[in-house]
A and B are shown apart, each in its own frame.
Chain A
Amino acid sequence: MVGPCGSVPVGADRGLSLQPILHGQAVMTIQYYVFLLVNGLSLGMLLFIIASGLSLVFGVLRVINFAHGSLYMIGAYVACTLATFLSGGSFFHFLLLLLVVPPVIAILGFVLETTLFRRVYQQEHLLQLLLTYALVLILDDVVRVIWGGDPRSVVRPDILAGSVSVLGMALPSYNVFVLLLGPIIALGLWYLLYRTRAGNVIRAAVHYPDTLGALGVNVSWVMTATFMLGCWLAGLGGVLVAALANVDLGIGMERIIECFAVVVIGGLGSVGGALLGSLIIGVGISFFQLPFGRWALVFPYLVMALVLIIRPWGLFGKPER
């Protein structure tokens, strides 16, 4: 181990680590890139869970909800508060958070939709943006008042605190968990949208809201339900991030911009597009670190710009009629 006398360098205790390293010189191998791919995919999945909500809400309500990031942040804070009551550590407690917190955010969404959003659907986009941006400021201050400025976090359950070996390299179990949860959510959303009557109604509301209304469906209820689903996803993302990183007042704004890029790349309103967009960004940032360093940060926006030039309606989106 490390000694202050320095007789043994830190590197002496070599355990599970990135293998393709010889004599201190990093040798990049195919394994390393596969590892980066898996790491990036798990990053993308987390992004997808949040961004899919944003996309869904836009698809049905035609409102770009900037406050989506704030709802995600509130989800994270609620998770932190609940976790202190549960005095966490066990996987069961963590699952409980995953089950309880997203519905709480969905209920908050219900209140917001029925009192505020409903009033602006017929208004121009500028007014809608003003409303959602005002909500960002208000919700941020509400969080500041309730939770204060101290960073918080949820204790990772022990079972997810370790790591698994991917081609001889250590990948955190938590990333693996998110990597598995992402496709489950994606499949669930796909099933809901394409295999259930509710989904049919939601999809119909995207393209033919008037016809749907004429058929006797309560369109405004569909909108409320969709908004709540979007908030549910934001809340889920919040719980997942609270166990990963410190939660503070900045995390909402930090994520909403990336989510926006994801939604533009994938196509506004398309959940499949959000999945693809998230994975492109997650893998991209992870992959291009090494060759491009800090310029890897530009990647999401570069892709977004390219998509906007070549296919302005997004990869999976449909051109506006």
Chain B
Amino acid sequence: MRGRMLRTALAVLVFALAAGLVVSGDCLAQDKIRLGFVADVGGIAATFYKSQRQAIDLFIEEANAAGGVMGKKLEVVVRDSQLKPDIGSNMARELILSEKCDFLIGPTSSAVALAITKVAQEFKKIVYFHTSNTELLTTTDFQPYMFQVVPNTGIEGRGIVEFVSKKPYKRFGYIGYDYAYGHTQWDEQKAKLKQLKPDAQIAEPVWVKLGESNFSAWIPTVIASNPEVILSSLWGGGLASFIKQAQPYGMFKTASVTSLFDLDMLRAIGKDMPENQLGYARAAFYAIDTPQMKAFNQKYYDKYKEWPADWAIMAYDGLIALTDAIKQANSLDSDKVVKALEGLKFKSLRGDRFIRAEDHMMNCGIYVGYTVKDPKYEGFLIMKDVVEVPAEKVWRSVDELKKIRAEKK
């Protein structure tokens, strides 16, 4: 008898404990908003990841200190997609299914982003893209459970052409790696340039073997057509190499190489960067004149002892939009948050912005300026006289969007 009672008591105890665990587990899940960050952690993406992660951590720290979102604390779970689309989509699945993440944060690589957006659609989990900027995410590959807070390839490519076409430049050149994206970008830029500036002299583009880091063979060919502005799809380390090598050929006495001068690139090339080069940033911490940006810069610098790169600013802005939408929807339900996101007006670090309902694209333009040394910043040049080319000037119109999506179907 006694033994049986003991056994029953034990069973009850175990059951109660197990139930308690389940209940407290549930409570735990409900107390928190879990953000699954599918990140490209290593390789060429390492520097991007560092900035993104730092900004995300900073945002979470601030939001939680202020009491969280809807009374829930934020937390981030990171998985490495290793710049590979198949691994990225597996990691996104894992974050949704095993880690029970409520929302996803996108990677650096556009190829990985295109894989992740499909998983997000499949599981109806919202993902936002802050660095991967292929325009396809909001055109042919659009799905409602995503939004993009980085000027996409179209806004970038057409934006810089829009800017140079208003200036008295006449002669244009191009250098880029010989691969599909480079060719698409140049074809579009060339068409836009011809349309906006019919008298532009556009030289034959110079195509460099993909991945080549010694540009000596190509530099004289670029110079030979005597361009004033050399548009380029080179970026990051490759662009830094190119500029460093082209300088002693005298290229920058007569021309500007015009491409993405993000903070990491400016830091990589350092003092080898010539002055007065025309370029653009996706988000320039030193040029954006909003109280939010200034406060963010200071907090970021105090915490990490470095200035925020473009990727940090954009990753942070994405979280502002996401948490604002959650608050507005007062729910973690994806469909309700998507509804709040469409047309959402929010105070980003880059100023008052909105998310366009039709393609979930933030109206973020590029920041165009000319390189200059600034005593405030040791070790790298910044851009001066920076102006924003507003996204509204160059992004695809809603009619265009409809046409592109209809063509795909």
Chain A residues within an 8 Å CB radius of B275: 1
Chain A residues within an 8 Å CB radius of B168: 6-7, 9
Chain B residues within an 8 Å CB radius of A249: 43
Q: Is the CB of B226 within 8 A of A24?
A: yes
Q: Is the CB of B221 within 8 A of A254?
A: no
Interface assignment of B211: CB less than 8 Å from any CB of chain A: yes
- B222 CB to closest chain A CB (Å) equals 9
Q: Is the CB of A246 within 8 A of B238?
A: yes
- Cβ-defined partner of B253 (8 Å) among A16, A144, A297: A16
Inter-chain CA distance A16–B247, complex, in Å, is: 11
Q: Is the CB of B169 within 8 A of A246?
A: no
Inter-chain CA distance A6–B228, complex, in Å, is: 12
Interface window among A170-178, A272-280, A309-317: A170-178
Interface assignment of B256: CB less than 8 Å from any CB of chain A: yes
Interface assignment of B301: CB less than 8 Å from any CB of chain A: no
Chain B residues within an 8 Å CB radius of A170: 248-250
Q: Is the CB of A18 within 8 A of B226?
A: yes
- A165 CB to closest chain B CB (Å) equals 9
Interface assignment of B66: CB less than 8 Å from any CB of chain A: no
Which residue of chain B has its CB nearest to the CB of A173? B248
- Cβ-defined partner of A151 (8 Å) among B207, B255, B268: B268
Chain B residues within an 8 Å CB radius of A39: 216-217, 220
Q: Is the CB of B44 within 8 A of A149?
A: yes
Inter-chain CA distance A289–B224, complex, in Å, is: 11
For window 1-24 of chain A, which residues contact chain B by CB distance below 8 Å? 1-2, 4, 6-7, 9-11, 13-18, 21, 24
Number of interface residues of A (CB under 8 A): 62
Chain B residues within an 8 Å CB radius of A13: 253-254
Inter-chain CA distance A103–B15, complex, in Å, is: 70
Chain B residues within an 8 Å CB radius of A126: none
Inter-chain CA distance A282–B209, complex, in Å, is: 14
Q: Is the CB of B221 within 8 A of A290?
A: yes
Q: Is the CB of B216 within 8 A of A43?
A: yes
- A277 CB to closest chain B CB (Å) equals 16
Q: Is the CB of A246 within 8 A of B213?
A: yes
Which residue of chain B has its CB nearest to the CB of A286? B217
Chain B residues within an 8 Å CB radius of A234: none
Q: Is the CB of A289 within 8 A of B218?
A: yes
Chain B residues within an 8 Å CB radius of A244: 213-214, 216, 241, 245
- Cβ-defined partner of B220 (8 Å) among A2, A36, A153: A36
- B226 CB to closest chain A CB (Å) equals 4
Interface assignment of A124: CB less than 8 Å from any CB of chain B: no
Which residue of chain B has its CB nearest to the CB of A244? B214
B246-285 vs A: 1/0 string, CB under 8 Å?
0011110111100000000000100000011010000000
Interface assignment of A28: CB less than 8 Å from any CB of chain B: yes
A-B contacts, 6 listed (Cβ < 8 Å): A2-B276, A6-B167, A7-B168, A11-B228, A161-B248, A285-B217
Q: Can you list the 3 inter-chain pairs with the closest CB atoms, starting with the nearest?
A: A172-B248, A170-B250, A151-B237
